[in-house]
């Protein structure tokens, strides 16, 4: 198979690394500007305290967990075709987790006070749980990568893979529980959010992996085996369908209770940008169109169709998270159910939010960190999946 000229490949690497580093630096600069000037320069208020950077951060953290599903299918469930993809899966997990956590810490302000949270553990707080879950994720995935890439440690890869699988489920459960235990907001406060976040992580993580895999194969002049491509695209379709089911159940559950009917009307019909993003961004562009591309043969056979579907799934993910996080805060708190509340503190009023330029730059800075870490990692350690087609066919991993 053809590969790029080494000199051209090296030049492309430096260009990509420079772009990623520049985007990351601009994001950090935006965070320093907000830290120095104050959050008055953002679109956030006392009512909406989680803005656009949190949308990007939650996506990166959730997808960082889900991208490990590729490794789990190979190591835990014994699917040979996925084993060669496990190292790249682990690298992407660490890179996206780093980008997401960096955005959260820089967006909240006073990142130096992280040591307080680390040294004063509060077991009654979901945020306190995450202080353990996130560092634990780094440690477990690092050990898992060691067992995959060091020949002497290969016999322990299955155990390490199982530990990684369990830990990432716990981590995503903790992320969903941040919202699930927040009973003050009508958008949140339900046990459905933990499993919903787990399913979303599967779909979003696989979509990210397929984009990176396609890019890496194109970079090196390689072509993915049609049967492996078929399996992965079908798996993506299953996960996207599962996300649709979970989101539908979540909203139907809210509609069933009279106290949440007005909130659902706001999110789905009367909320301006939120219904547009929900129906047009997530349901149409991020769910219906990708499913059509993945499952309709005339569309799925087109060159680049799976890449297009994966990109649309990620676009839909951002739309859904924006509706969920920003829209959930925009709807006023129902402090006194059954009564209309009016005051000078915006009680009972729809809260407005417009992301500012520093927020946008910080949000993309998180993507820049993840992109740079992945680019450097792939270059230095050679994480490109190498498929031994003859071995896979002999093992029945392709033909079955």
Condensed to tens digits (0 to 9), the pLDDT of residues 291-336 reads 999 999 888 888 888 999 999 999 999 999 999 999 888 888 776 6
**Which token pair is 93?**
């997990």
Q: Give the pLDDT of residue 276.
A: 94
Which of 57-66, 170-179, 221-230, 236-245 shows the lowest mean pLDDT across its residues? 221-230
Which of 19-23, 66-70, 87-91, 123-127 shows the lowest mean pLDDT across its residues? 123-127
Mean pLDDT of 29-44: 88
Q: What angle do CA 42, 47, 52 make, to 5 degrees?
A: 40
How many Å apart are CA 153 and CA 139, to the nearest integer? 16
**Which token pair is 90?**
């682990």
Strand residues in 187-300 grouped as ranges (E) = none
Confidence of residue 182 (pLDDT cuts 50, 70, 90): confident
Residue 349 has pLDDT above 80, yes or no: no
Mean pLDDT of 58-75: 89
Instruction: Please check whether residue 2 lies inside any domain of the structure.
Output: no
Average pLDDT, the chain: 85
Instruction: Please check whether residue 4 lies inside any domain of the structure.
Output: no
Instruction: Please check whether residue 7 lies inside any domain of the structure.
Output: no
How many Å apart are CA 180 and CA 190, to the nearest integer? 5
Instruction: Please check whether residue 381 lies inside any domain of the structure.
Output: yes
Q: Which of 98, 97, 99 is nearest to 65 (CA)?
A: 97
Q: Give the pLDDT of residue 37.
A: 87
Q: By percentage, how much of the chain surpasses pLDDT 70?
A: 90
Burial class (CB in 10 A: 0-12, 13-18, 19+), 273: middle
Burial class (CB in 10 A: 0-12, 13-18, 19+), 82: buried
Q: Give the pLDDT of residue 390.
A: 46
- Asked whether the whole model's pTM tops 0.85, one would answer yes
Q: Which residue has the higher pLDDT, 228 or 204?
A: 204
Instruction: Please check whether residue 87 lies inside any domain of the structure.
Output: yes
Interacting residues of 162 by C-beta distance below 8 A, sequence separation 6+: 75, 76
Q: Give the pLDDT of residue 206.
A: 94
Q: Which residue has the higher pLDDT, 26 or 39?
A: 26
Instruction: Please check whether residue 395 lies inside any domain of the structure.
Output: no
- The residue segments making up the domain with residue 286 are 12-385
Per-residue model confidence as pLDDT tens digits over 77-114: 777 778 888 888 999 999 999 999 999 888 877 777 77
Structurally, how many domains does the chain consist of? 1
Q: Give the pLDDT of residue 242.
A: 95
Residue 372 has pLDDT above 70, yes or no: yes
> Within 13 Å, how many C-alpha atoms sit on residue 320's CB side?
27
Confidence of residue 1 (pLDDT cuts 50, 70, 90): very low
Per-residue model confidence as pLDDT tens digits over 211-256: 998 888 887 777 788 888 888 899 999 999 999 999 999 999 888 8
Residue pair 277/324 in contact (Cβ under 8 Å)? The answer is no
The values of phi and psi at residue 206, to 5°, are -65, -40
Residue 44 has pLDDT above 90, yes or no: no
Q: Which residue has the higher pLDDT, 234 or 339?
A: 234
Q: What is the rounded end-to-end Cα distance, in angstroms, of the chain? A: 25
Instruction: Please check whether residue 181 lies inside any domain of the structure.
Output: yes
Q: What is the CATH number of the domain that holds 218?
A: 1.20.1630.10
Instruction: Please check whether residue 81 lies inside any domain of the structure.
Output: yes
Residue 167 has pLDDT above 80, yes or no: yes
Q: By percentage, how much of the chain surpasses pLDDT 90?
A: 42
Q: Give the pLDDT of residue 196.
A: 94
């Amino acid at each position: 198979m053809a590969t790029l000229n080494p000199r051209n490949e090296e030049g492309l690497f430096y260009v990509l690394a420079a772009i990623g580093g520049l985007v990351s630096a601009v994001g950090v600069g935006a965070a320093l500007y907000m830290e120095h000037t104050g959050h008055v320069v953002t679109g956030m208020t006392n009512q909406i305290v989680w803005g656009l950077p949190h949308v990007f951060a939650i996506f990166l953290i959730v997808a960082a967990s889900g991208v490990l599903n590729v490794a789990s299918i190979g190591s835990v469930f014994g699917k040979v075709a996925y084993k060669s993809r496990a190292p790249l899966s682990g690298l992407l997990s660490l890179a996206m987790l780093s980008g997401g956590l960096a955005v959260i810490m820089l967006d909240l302000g006073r990142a130096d006070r992280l040591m307080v949270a680390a040294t004063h553990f509060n077991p009654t707080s979901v945020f306190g749980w995450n202080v353990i879950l996130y560092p634990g994720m780094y440690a477990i995935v690092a050990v898992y990568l060691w067992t995959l890439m060091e020949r002497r440690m290969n016999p322990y890869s299955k155990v390490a893979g199982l530990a990684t699988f369990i830990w990432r489920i716990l981590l995503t459960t903790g992320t969903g529980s941040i919202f699930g235990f927040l009973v003050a907001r009508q958008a949140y406060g339900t046990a459905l959010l933990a499993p919903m976040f787990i399913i979303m992580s599967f779909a979003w993580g696989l979509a990210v992996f397929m984009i990176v895999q396609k890019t890496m194969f194109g970079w090196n002049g390689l072509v993915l085996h049609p049967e492996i491509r078929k399996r992965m695209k079908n798996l993506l379709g299953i996960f996207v369908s599962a996300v649709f089911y979970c989101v539908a159940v979540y909203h139907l559950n809210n509609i069933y209770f009279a106290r949440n009917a007005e909130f659902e009307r706001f999110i789905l019909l009367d909320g301006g940008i939120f219904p547009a993003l929900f129906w047009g961004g997530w349901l149409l562009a991020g769910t219906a169109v990708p499913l059509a591309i993945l499952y309709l043969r005339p569309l799925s056979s087109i060159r680049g169709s799976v890449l297009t579907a994966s990109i649309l799934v990620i676009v839909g993910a951002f739309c859904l998270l924006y509706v969920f996080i920003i829209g959930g805060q925009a709807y006023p708190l129902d402090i006194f159910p059954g009564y209309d509340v009016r005051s000078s503190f915006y009680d009972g009023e729809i809260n407005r939010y417009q992301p500012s330029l520093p927020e946008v730059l910080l949000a993309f800075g998180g993507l820049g960190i993840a992109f740079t870490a992945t680019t450097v990692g792939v270059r230095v350690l050679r994480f490109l999946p190498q498929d031994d087609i003859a071995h896979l066919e002999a093992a029945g991993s392709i033909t079955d």
